[in-house]
Amino acid sequence: MSTDPLHIVCPHCHTTNRVAASQLGAAPDCGKCHQPLFTAKPVELDEAAFDKHIARSHLPVLVDFWAPWCGPCRAMAPAFEQAARELEPQMRLAKVNTEAAQNLAARFNIRSIPTLALFAGGREVARQPGAMGAADIVRWARSHRTT
């Protein structure tokens, strides 16, 4: 494993931080806003924040594309939160409201919601449409992790 620091994007101010891999589990804080880099909750992303998290983070980012009017999306939300508690700090979980970020939904050709998409190294590496329980989300995300 490399001894180079990992780039971790803050879920609060979206600043890129350098964190040693060995320190991921030690509750690191953001160097700019001093908030925790890991909250065990999905981070809500708009278009600008999405691009920062996908392009600048060394961590894989699991994104839930959803909409407020979608019943299955609302039903899956607690499971996605539970998955965040299990997958952090090895993976960032994020939510993109496709109603508020229609350009992102179009850019990634999101045809049904909820849709999970896993990004690593700035690109999409896996996609899964449909609602899932927490254990299935965790299992699916870990099975497609590339780092």
| pTM of the model as a whole | 0.94
Q: Which amino acid is at 74?
A: R
- Report the catalytic residues: 70, 73
Q: With pLDDT > 70 as the criterion, what percentage of the chain qualifies?
A: 97
* 19 in a structural domain: no
- Residue 51 sits in a domain of what CATH number? 3.40.30.10
Task: Say whether pLDDT at 147 is over 80.
Answer: no
Q: Which residues of 75-95 are buried (b: 16+ CB within 10 A; e: fewer)?
A: ebbebbbbbbebbbbbbbbbb
Does residue 9 lie within any of the structural domains? no
6 in any annotated domain = no
The C-alpha angle with vertex 51 and arms to 46 and 55, in degrees rounded to 5, equals 150
What are the structure tokens assigned to 32, written together?
């700019």
Domain membership flag for residue 130: yes
CB neighbours of 140 closer than 8 A, spacing ≥ 6?
116, 126, 128, 132
Contact (Cβ atoms closer than 8 angstroms) between residue 92 and residue 57: yes
* pLDDT value, residue 25: 86
Q: How far apart are CA 67 and CA 98, in angstroms?
A: 6
Query: What is the pLDDT at residue 122?
Result: 92
Q: How confident is the model at residue 145 (pLDDT cuts 50, 70, 90)?
A: confident
Does some domain include residue 97?
Answer: yes
Domain range for 131 is: 39-144
Question: What is the total count of domains within the chain?
Answer: 1
Residues 6+ apart with CB under 8 A from 24: 6, 8, 38, 89, 90
| Segment 4-29 mean pLDDT | 92
> Domain for residue 127, yes or no?
yes
In a domain, 15, yes or no: no
Tens digits of residue pLDDT in 102-124: 999 999 999 999 999 999 999 99
Report the distance separating Cα 57 and Cα 49, nearest Å. Answer: 11
3: in domain: no
